[in-house]
Amino acid sequence: MWEKWMKKCLVFTLVLLQTMPLLGCYDSKELDEKTFLTMIGVDVGTEHPLKLSLQFEKLTEQDKSSNDTEDKSTSNTEVVSEEVDTIFTGQGLLTIATSRQYENAHTKIVVFSEEVARSKQFQQYVSSIYRNHSVRGISYIMITKGKAEDFLKEDQLMTNTYTAKAVEILMRQTNYNAYFPRVTIDNAYNEMKSSKRKVIIPLAAVNKQVEDSETETEEGKNETTKDASKQKNGEKQPSEEKSTEDDAYKAGELPRSGGLAREVFGSAVLEGTKMIGELTGEETRILLMVRDEFKKADFSSKDPLKKNQMISLTVERARAPEIKVETKGERPVIHVRISLDGDVDSIFSTIDYERPQMKKILEEAFEDDIKTHLDALIEKCQKEFKSDVFGFGRAAVMHFLTIDEWEKYNWRKAFPEAKVITEVSFAIRRTGTLMKAEKLRPVVGDDEDDE
Amino acid sequence: MMAEKEAKIGSAEMAALLILSIITPLMFNNNTLARELTGSAHWISIIIAFIFGILGLLALLCLLRRFPGQNIMQIFNQVYGRKFGFVASLLLFLLFITTVAVEVRTFAETTKTYDYDTTPTIVIVGLVLMGAAIICWLGVESLARISVLLGYLLIPLLFIILALLIPNLEVANLFPILGHGTKNLLLCGFTESYMYGSILFIGVFADVFQEIKSVKKAAYTGVLVSGALIFIYHLFFNMTLGYETITEEASDMFFLITSIEQGRFFQRLDALLSFPMNIGTFISVSVGMCGALKVYRNMFDIQNRRVLLLPAIFLLLALAMIAPDYPTVVFVYNKYVRGFSIAMMYLIPLLTLITAVARKKRRRC
């Protein structure tokens, strides 16, 4: 009896002892003791190696209303900056600004300035973030033209809803416009060290045109009227000139007004451990097709039968790109085949491209268009960047049995010398809500101009 | 103190115990050293390790078939005599006790790295050991029964986690297909077979099986299911990271689970790993502790295992806390314990079998 009672006592004591640490005394986290970071910005400092900017969500209604001034009144976030030696010691130092410990678990984007990205230390900074367990590997990475701090401050305008959700929406734009890649810290870190594919990182910027238009007064409005009159007289705007030439817009250069001043557009190309070049939004779209990261986007193309008219298409990935690499010869030969499907959105000329025999003309014209852009991009990456951002190395590596053999082949040196044969297949699957567009009846005299 | 009542377990219970004790270390173990040898071909070395594991199991089963109804310590005594049998049992005891100590420390360090960064290591280690001691108090029968129940929950959960990783997989990461060469693959395959060291528990608990054919069934089921899970896990890890960075992760499983991103909503699933990792560790550590105590009781002919629980906790706590830091656990302790495990897994059953055949020893009825 006594023994049984003792046994029960002992088990009870052991269970009780075991439950005590489960109370979480050591690692308990109270929400109001923490400041939840949404973005981290890294710039080059003047007195210290870095200037760290932290964007965080205000937790209480009181916090939100504390900074109510003009347009920023709707902002849920605040940005604090400080010159520091390293990112994480900087976070410790910046707690002085909030009296709360920073929590990285909800950090959505880490933004590096172009100056930092072009420095040799870039890889070290990415590596330090990757190593720290508090920042999640699925957080996004971005490079910004100008200062990261400015980007973080401009981004506040966007965040009149839940910041984390807003960032997710921002980054998932690429699923339907493909103007920039979606790259996480995990992807960036691992591809920086990869011998098979080099990393690209989305480029962001604060659009000065939009920023200026926000502060423009009546004087600005007059300028716009002048511009309008110039346009009427047939003079082209600088941005317009660019668009008709080659659509070569880069981040921060989009000729727009209104909306958020910050924009994510195009991508930064990295070779080794630092940024070496930049791709426009259009080039990024083509690149994403080869990297099998392209989902869907709208394209405009010249009408093959009426060159002064445009055709608008919604293009989707049909199949994964087929990439084959021959490594036997003196220089590698790469075969790339991209397969796309599309829907017709608009045909200004009203030519009946819906008919099977006419559809072929449109498909071939678009294939040629994409192929021209693709060939130009490959040449740029081979000659100018010498960086295999396409991931052709992933196909090449399959011809090697051991890591030693692959390393000796040195894909990094072989890629710029490679002969690349490209092929694009495009099929129009649907023609929108119309199966035939009857000719418009123009005003007498206008029909001649159209010809 | 009253004598311990001998429990009886079936093949399903033993298979569940075996599976959980083989796969649990997978969730927090570090594989840097092995992957340095194999690179992109680590998954092939896992197949080789499985073949070696089966060979080790066959040797053990041959031995157990020769001495039906007896555990491995009784077999040692019969084959080697009392003195050398004692030494063989002592080696087995040391293997179990060091394996448990390293396992619990690795678990604590991983938990501290990824979850509880402020909690002292000794608290986490002590907590696990106390939990395991309670399970040991209840006995191997209770442990086996709860393992079956939890096995049905944890094994599918692990398969779900692995299935969620499918979008992250990249076939090109499996190339160059032979990694650092066939020689390294074979060597790594042999050393990685330490994962199946838990099959020695079959020998230790052989006398608690309801019938002798259950031993074989439990052993094959346990090794096949855990082998399949281990293979899929390593294949997926190889397909997630290229050979350039595959050696870097402190905990493979944590890396994999934190990289799951199924849309905007279905991400940050670390908590999902906490269940199999914590529960599995309690089961796995308990099996190791029960096994070690059973060997010890046989060595010194102690009837009641419960009197050994408190000293066992202190001994394991002391052993687990010897390592000054996590890198020492990974690069020094793990290396030696794995080597010891391999030696015991193959040498002990094989040597004993050969000696038994040479000395014409069989079970005395």
- Percent over 70 (pLDDT), chain B: 97
Q: What is the mean pLDDT of residues B177-203?
A: 92
Mean pLDDT of chain B: 89
Question: Between the CA of residue B143 and those of A99, A228, B98, B127, B286, what are the distances in Å?
Answer: 48, 82, 21, 18, 8
pLDDT at A74: 56
Query: pLDDT digit string (tens) for A18-64?
Result: 666 665 677 777 777 888 898 999 999 999 999 999 998 776 555 55
Q: Does A190 touch chain B (CB under 8 A)?
A: yes
Residue A326: band (very low, low, confident or very high) from pLDDT cuts 50, 70, 90: very high
pLDDT of A447 reads 55
For residue B127, pLDDT beyond 70: yes
Tell me what pLDDT residue A294 has. 94
Q: What's the Cα-to-Cα distance from A389 to each of A268, A271, A377, A447, B172, rounded to whole Å?
A: 10, 9, 10, 47, 15
User: How far is the C-alpha of A149 from the C-alpha of B71, rounded, in Å?
Assistant: 69
Tokens of A334: 């790469």
Task: Read off the pLDDT of each residue in A407-425 and give the average, rounded to a whole number.
Answer: 94
What average pLDDT does the segment B57-64 reach? 90
Whether B15 contacts B316, CB under 8 Å? no
Q: How far is B198 from B345, CA to CA, in rounded Å?
A: 9
- DSSP designation for A358: H
Cβ-defined contact of B123 to A26 (cutoff 8 Å) = yes
Give B267: exposed, middle or buried? Use CB within 10 Å, 0-12, 13-18, 19+.
Answer: middle
Q: Is A400 on the interface with B (CB under 8 A)?
A: yes
Amino acid at B107: F
- Closest-CA distance, A317 to chain B, in angstroms, reads 17
The tens digit of pLDDT for each residue in A183-218 reads 999 999 999 999 999 999 999 988 777 666 666 544
Residue B225 has pLDDT above 80, yes or no: yes
Of residues A185 and A134, more confidence is placed in: A185
Q: What is the pLDDT of residue B335?
A: 86
The span from the CA of B293 to the CA of B298, in Å, is 9
pTM of the model: 0.87
Q: Is A405 within 8 Å of B268 when comparing Cβ atoms? A: no
Structure tokens at A425: 């297949």
Given B134, B176, B267, which is nearest A14 (Cβ)?
A: B134
Q: What are phi and psi of A46, to 5 degrees?
A: -100, -45
CA distance B142 to B308: 18
Phi, psi (deg, nearest 5) at residue B284: -60, -45
Q: What is the pLDDT of residue A415?
A: 94
Residue B250 has pLDDT above 60, yes or no: yes
What is the full DSSP assignment across B160-180? HHHHHTGGG--GGGG-STTTT
Going by pLDDT thresholds of 50, 70 and 90, the confidence category of residue B182 is very high
| Contact indicator for B132, B312 with CB cutoff of 8 Å | no
Q: Note the ipTM here.
A: 0.87
Q: Could you tell me if B316 and B122 are in contact, meaning their C-beta atoms sit under 8 angstroms apart?
A: no
Q: Work out the minimum CA distance from B112 to partner chain A, whole angstroms.
A: 10
- Which of B115, B131, B264 has its CB closest to that of A168? B264
- pLDDT tens-digit readout, A138-170: 999 999 998 999 888 887 655 556 777 888 888
Say whether B244 and A136 touch across the interface (CB within 8 A): no
Whole-number mean pLDDT of chain A? Answer: 82
Q: What is the DSSP letter of A273?
A: T
Q: Report the largest interatomic distance among the alpha carbons of chain A, rounded to a whole angstrom.
A: 114
- With contact defined as beta carbons under 8 Å apart, do A199 and A271 qualify? no
* Dist CA A309 CA A346 (whole Å): 11
